C-alpha cells in the first residue's frame, strides 16, 4: 500500500519541525556543559515532559499494542514499578547525583570503587542501551513498511542518518525541547487511534470493551508462583529491579536530573514524568486490545503478509484512518524514535567523553572534549543503524525481545549502585568480587536458559524465565560484594564515598563542609 499525499505532508512538516528545533540550538553548543546538561537551566515541567517522552519509544507505539493484541496486559505490570522505584530512591538519589557528578552517572562509581568499576558500569550501560537503539530503529522501519510498503532497510538508513544529524547539532537542549513537543503529540496520536478503533466496529465502544472483558483481555497475567514463565510475579520482579536500575544508573535519566534548575525542580519533573507515563502505557495496551476486538467484531481478515502481531496495528492505521490522521500517528511514531534515539546518542557521547576520553586524556581542553562527543554521536549512530539492519531480518516479537535484551545485558548495575551507596565499608575489591560473580552468573544463565539453550547442562540449566536474569544479577552483585567485606578487615574508605545513609537523607554528606 502507499501512503496518501496528505499523510506524507503531515509527516514531513513534523519531522522538519523537530529537526529545526535541533538546528535552532546548534549555535549554542560551545561547551560540554551546554552539550550534555543544557547548563542546568531546564524548568521542572519541561523535565517532566522530557522524561515522559524518553519513556515512549517505538516499543511503546508498536510493541505494547502488539503484546496486548496477542494476549493480555501482563507486559504492562513492570511499568507500575516506575512509581515504586521513584518512591524508594527519588528523594535521596536525585539530589545526591546533582551534588556528586558532573555529567556522567558513572563518575560516582569511579569515586567509590576506582576506574575499573567506573568503566565496567559505563560498558554495561552502553550494551543495554545499544540494544534499545537498534530495536527502536527496527520498529520504526517495521511500522513505516507496514503502512507505506517502503523498503525497511532504506527506512532504517534514512531515519538513522537524520537522527544522527539532528543529535549532532542540537545537543541536550534540543533533546529536552523536542521531547516537550513530542509529549503533546503522543496524546494526540493516542486519541485519534482509539477514536477510530472504538467507533468504527459494530456496536461501538460498549461492544468492543464487553468482548475484551469476556475474553479476559485486561488480565494482568497468571498469578501462579512460577518463575519459569512470564507470570505476574516474574513481571513484578523484572519491573522492580529494572526501574531501580533506571533511576540510579541510567545516564539518559541522570542527565535529566542534572539539567533541571534545582534539586526540587528535578524531583518535581521526574515525578511528573513518571505519573504521566503509566496512563500512556496503559492506553497503548488498550489500543492493542481494541485492535483485536476491531477485527473480531468486523470479521475483517488480515492479509497474508501480516505475520507478526507487531504489524497488525500499523496495518489498521494505514488502511482505516482517513488521510491526515494516519499521518499524525506516523509523525508521532517517527518523532518518538527521533527523540529517544537523540537522547541515547547524547548519553553515549556524555559517557564516552567523561568516563573514557577524559580519563585517558586528562589534559584535553573542553573544546577537544566537545569535538570528541560529536564524533561519538556519529560512530554510535552508525553502529546502531548497522545493528538495526541485522535485527530487521529476525522474527522475534518486539516487546519480548526488548525485555529479554534489557534483562540479560543490564550487568547488575542496580546492585553495584546499592553496594556503593549503602555499604559504608565496601571497597574496590568487594566491588570486583561482586562484578565477577554477576558476570559468571549472567553468562551461565544466558547460555543455559530456555527450551533450546545454547549450552545444555541438563538439570544444571538456569530454571527460570530470562526476564529475571538481570534482577538476580543485581542481587548476586550486591550480595557477594557485601559479604566480601566481612572476609577482610576494612582498612580504609574514601570519606566522600562512604558517608552514612542518614547523612545523605539530610541532604549533606559528613565529608562535606557545613555552609
**pLDDT per residue over 417-429, tens digit each?**
999 998 878 899 9
pLDDT value for 230 = 87
Chain centroid to CA 80: 15
**pLDDT per residue over 246-280, tens digit each?**
899 889 999 999 999 999 999 999 999 999 999 99
Spatial distance between the Cα atoms of 412 and 428, rounded to a whole number of angstroms: 16
Is the full-model pTM beyond 0.75? Answer: yes
Quick one: pLDDT band at residue 513, thresholds 50, 70, 90?
Answer: very low
The average pLDDT across 29-43 equals 88
The average pLDDT across 328-349 equals 87
Spatial distance between the Cα atoms of 139 and 388, rounded to a whole number of angstroms: 9
pLDDT-above-70 percentage for the chain: 90
pLDDT over 60 (residue 345): yes
Of residues 280 and 388, more confidently modeled: 280
pLDDT value for 475 = 94
Spatial distance between the Cα atoms of 317 and 306, rounded to a whole number of angstroms: 13
pLDDT value for 307 = 80
User: ∠ CA(78), CA(81), CA(86), 5° rounding?
Assistant: 150
pLDDT value for 368 = 93
pLDDT-above-90 percentage for the chain: 36
pLDDT value for 278 = 94
The average pLDDT across 385-405 equals 66
The average pLDDT across 352-371 equals 91
Which residues share a beta bridge with 42? Answer: 260
Q: Hey, is 56 helix, strand or coil?
A: coil
pLDDT value for 402 = 54
Buried b (16+ CB within 10 A) or exposed e, 320-333: bbeeebbbbbbbbb
pLDDT value for 488 = 61
> What's the N-to-C CA distance of the chain in angstroms?
67
Q: Hey, is 42 helix, strand or coil?
A: strand
**pLDDT per residue over 154-174, tens digit each?**
878 877 888 888 788 888 988
Of residues 402 and 266, more confidently modeled: 266
pLDDT over 80 (residue 128): no
pLDDT value for 392 = 76
pLDDT value for 174 = 86
Quick one: pLDDT band at residue 491, thresholds 50, 70, 90?
Answer: very low
The average pLDDT across 456-477 equals 90
Of residues 454 and 238, more confidently modeled: 238
pLDDT over 50 (residue 499): no
pLDDT over 70 (residue 395): no
Phi, psi values for residue 441, rounded to 5°: -65, -45
**Of the listed ranges 16-20, 56-60, 378-382, 390-394, the one predicted with least confidence:** 390-394
pLDDT over 90 (residue 80): yes
pLDDT value for 73 = 94
Spatial distance between the Cα atoms of 111 and 203, rounded to a whole number of angstroms: 63
Spatial distance between the Cα atoms of 83 and 259, rounded to a whole number of angstroms: 21
pLDDT value for 497 = 43
User: ∠ CA(6), CA(10), CA(14), 5° rounding?
Assistant: 165
Domain with CATH 1.20.1730.10 in the chain: 5-410
pLDDT value for 165 = 84
Most confidently modeled range among 225-229, 293-297, 357-361, 438-442:
293-297
To the nearest whole number, what is the mean pLDDT of the chain? 84
Reading the block at residue 217, the C-alpha cell is 483481555
5-410: CATH, from 1.20.1730.10, 3.30.750.24, 1.20.1290.10, 3.30.70.100: 1.20.1730.10
CA distances, 170 to each of 33, 176, 241, 330 (Å): 13, 10, 33, 23
Amino acid at each position: 500500500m502507499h501512503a496518501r499525499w496528505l499523510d506524507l505532508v503531515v509527516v514531513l512538516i513534523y519531522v522538519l519541525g523537530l529537526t529545526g528545533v535541533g538546528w535552532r540550538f546548534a549555535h549554542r553548543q560551545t561547551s560540554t556543559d551546554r552539550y550534555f546538561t543544557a547548563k542546568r537551566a531546564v524548568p521542572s515541567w519541561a523535565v517532566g515532559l522530557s522524561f515522559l517522552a524518553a519513556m515512549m519509544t517505538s516499543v511503546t507505539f508498536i510493541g505494547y499494542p502488539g503484546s496486548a493484541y496477542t494476549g493480555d496486559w501482563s507486559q504492562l505490570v513492570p511499568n507500575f514499578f516506575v512509581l515504586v522505584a521513584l518512591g524508594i530512591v527519588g528523594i535521596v538519589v536525585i539530589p545526591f547525583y546533582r551534588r556528586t557528578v558532573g555529567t556522567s552517572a558513572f563518575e560516582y562509581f569511579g569515586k567509590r570503587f576506582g576506574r575499573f568499576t567506573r568503566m565496567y558500569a559505563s560498558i554495561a550501560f552502553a550494551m543495554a542501551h545499544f540494544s534499545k537503539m537498534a530495536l527502536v530503529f527496527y520498529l520504526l522501519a517495521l511500522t513505516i513498511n507496514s503502512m507505506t510498503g517502503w523498503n525497511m532497510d532504506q527506512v532504517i538508513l534514512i531515519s538513522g542518518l537524520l537522527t544522527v544529524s539532528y543529535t549532532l547539532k542540537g545537543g541536550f537542549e534540543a533533546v529536552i525541547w523536542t521531547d516537550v513537543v513530542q509529549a503533546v503529540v503522543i496524546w494526540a496520536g493516542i486519541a485519534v487511534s482509539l477514536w477510530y478503533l472504538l467507533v468504527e466496529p459494530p456496536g461501538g465502544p460498549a461492544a468492543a470493551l464487553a468482548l475484551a472483558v469476556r475474553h479476559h483481555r485486561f488480565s494482568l497475567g497468571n498469578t501462579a508462583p512460577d518463575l519459569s514463565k512470564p507470570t505476574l510475579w516474574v513481571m513484578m520482579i523484572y519491573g522492580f529491579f529494572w526501574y531501580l536500575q533506571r533511576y540510579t544508573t541510567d545516564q539518559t535519566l541522570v542527565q535529566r536530573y542534572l539539567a533541571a534548575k534545582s534539586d526540587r525542580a528535578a524531583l518535581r519533573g521526574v515525578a511528573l514524568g513518571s505519573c504521566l507515563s503509566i496512563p500512556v502505557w496503559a492506553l497503548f495496551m488498550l489500543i492493542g486490545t481494541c485492535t483485536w476486538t476491531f477485527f473480531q467484531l468486523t470479521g475483517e481478515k488480515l492479509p497474508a503478509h501480516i505475520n507478526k502481531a507487531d504489524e497488525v496495528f500499523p496495518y489498521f492505521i494505514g488502511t482505516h484512518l482517513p488521510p491526515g490522521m494516519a499521518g499524525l500517528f506516523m509523525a508521532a511514531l517517527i518523532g518518538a524514535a527521533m527523540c529517544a534515539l537523540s537522547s541515547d546518542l547524547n548519553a553515549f557521547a556524555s559517557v564516552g567523553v567523561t568516563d573514557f576520553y577524559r580519563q585517558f586524556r586528562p589534559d584535553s581542553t573542553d573544546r577537544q572534549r566537545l569535538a570528541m562527543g560529536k564524533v561519538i554521536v556519529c560512530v554510535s549512530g552508525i553502529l546502531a543503524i548497522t545493528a538495526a539492519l541485522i535485527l530487521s531480518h529476525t522474527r522475534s516479537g518486539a516487546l519480548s525481545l526488548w525485555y529479554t535484551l534489557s534483562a540479560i545485558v543490564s550487568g547488575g548495575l542496580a546492585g553495584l549502585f546499592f553496594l556503593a551507596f549503602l555499604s559504608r565499608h565496601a571497597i574496590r575489591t568487594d566491588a570486583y568480587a561482586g562484578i565477577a560473580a554477576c558476570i559468571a552468573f549472567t553468562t551461565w544463565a544466558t547460555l543455559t536458559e530456555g527450551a533450546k539453550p545454547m549450552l545444555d547442562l541438563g538439570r544444571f540449566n538456569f530454571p527460570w524465565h530470562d526476564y529475571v536474569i538481570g534482577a538476580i544479577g543485581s542481587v548476586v552483585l550486591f550480595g557477594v560484594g557485601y559479604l566480601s567485606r566481612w572476609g577482610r578487615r576494612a582498612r580504609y574508605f574514601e570519606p566522600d564515598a562512604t558517608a552514612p545513609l542518614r547523612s545523605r537523607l539530610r541532604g549533606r554528606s559528613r565529608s562535606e563542609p557545613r555552609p
